[in-house]
Amino acid sequence: MTHFNSLWRDVRGKLALLAVLIIALALISGMQSGRIGFESSELAFTDASSSGLQIVPASCPSSPHYAGECTSIIIVNTCPTGQHKNVSQTCVCDSTNLAPVNGSCAPLSTLCPAPTYYCGTGANANNLYYRTYSSAPACTPQSSLYANCFYGCDAGTATCRDADGTPAAEITVSPSLVRSGDTTTVSWTSVGVGACTVTATNSDTWTERNGTQTSREITTATTYTLTCTRPSGSPIVDNATVNIIPVFNEN
């Protein structure tokens, strides 16, 4: 007992000091670690579907140390390349742009009809329409108005008529003869066509179907070319050239 009392007298001061030090460090570390966790953008995130139901995404494989926790190795993919097993353990195409055709995967675009042009009927007989199709297998037709044909729609060729009965495009320059360094006015019109482009040998370029523009300074004979696309895809081309007034030096 005497020995213990002696030991206690020796250590109690030091022990008290150490206890205070430990408590102080614990308090400091506790303050630093904080009581409230970091609330990330994922904490309560849900995304509403079109019906208002809450979709909940996850983020399992995002860490570089991801070790396959959310990947299954149970299903062995014995399907051909480009396919995988579905819940019924049958092989289906990986890409949503493909569909199974005769055991392989074919582009869905080959399974639906090609887009077409057609004239309207009745009160819409002068309108040219463009019909496309949604992805297979639904292939739902979807039509949109392509052009109001001023001179009527030719049902046989599915094109707009101009005054002479065919699609037309025309380009002019005025004046067609200029001094070097002057500009000219380029005008063009089109009817019953799709996109048009004006290009020139001096790098002028415009992309409207109808328009009037001022050229760059003309320093050499310059040809302006109007190229429009018929509904069938073939081009209509017209040209106009502006020339330089010759300068004569009298000797």
Choose between 3 and 247: whose C-beta lies nearer to another protein.
3
Q: Taking CB under 8 A as the rule, does residue 20 contact another protein?
A: no
Selected from 1, 53, 123, 163, the binder of another protein by CB under 8 A is 53
Q: Is the dihedral of CA 103, 105, 106, 112 positive or negative?
A: positive
What is the residue whose two structure tokens read 């066509």? Answer: 193
> How far apart, in whole angstroms, are the C-alpha atoms of residue 245 and residue 179?
5
Residues 74-113 that bind another protein (CB under 8 A): 74-75, 77, 84-87, 89, 92, 94-96
> How far apart, in whole angstroms, are the C-alpha atoms of residue 237 and residue 235?
6
Q: Taking CB under 8 A as the rule, does residue 141 contact another protein?
A: no
12-20, 124-132, 166-174, 229-237 -> range binding another protein (CB under 8 A): 12-20
Selected from 66, 113, 185, 212, the binder of another protein by CB under 8 A is 66
> How far apart, in whole angstroms, are the C-alpha atoms of residue 19 and residue 27?
12
Contacts of 217 (CB under 8 A, 6+ apart): 181, 182, 183
Contacts of 223 (CB under 8 A, 6+ apart): 200, 201, 239, 240, 241
Selected from 5, 51, 144, 234, the binder of another protein by CB under 8 A is 51
Q: Taking CB under 8 A as the rule, does residue 55 contact another protein?
A: yes
> How far apart, in whole angstroms, are the C-alpha atoms of residue 193 and residue 190?
7
Nearest approach in angstroms of CB 137 to another protein is: 10
Q: Taking CB under 8 A as the rule, does residue 179 contact another protein?
A: no
**CA-CA-CA-CA torsion for 135, 136, 141, 144, nearest 10 degrees?**
20
Choose between 75 and 247: whose C-beta lies nearer to another protein.
75
Nearest approach in angstroms of CB 114 to another protein is: 23
112, two tokens: 């639906």
What is the residue whose two structure tokens read 């959310």? Answer: 70
Selected from 1, 2, 5, 57, the binder of another protein by CB under 8 A is 57
48-56, 140-148, 170-178, 230-238 -> range binding another protein (CB under 8 A): 48-56
Selected from 2, 4, 5, 62, the binder of another protein by CB under 8 A is 62
Choose between 14 and 251: whose C-beta lies nearer to another protein.
14
The Cβ-side half-sphere exposure at 37, using a 13 Å CA radius, reads: 4
45-53, 105-113, 204-212, 223-231 -> range binding another protein (CB under 8 A): 45-53
Q: Vertex 62, ends 59 and 65: CA angle to 5°?
A: 135
State the residues that interact with another protein by CB under 8 A: 6-7, 10-11, 14-15, 18, 22, 25-26, 28-30, 32-33, 36-47, 49-66, 69-75, 77, 84-87, 89, 92, 94-96
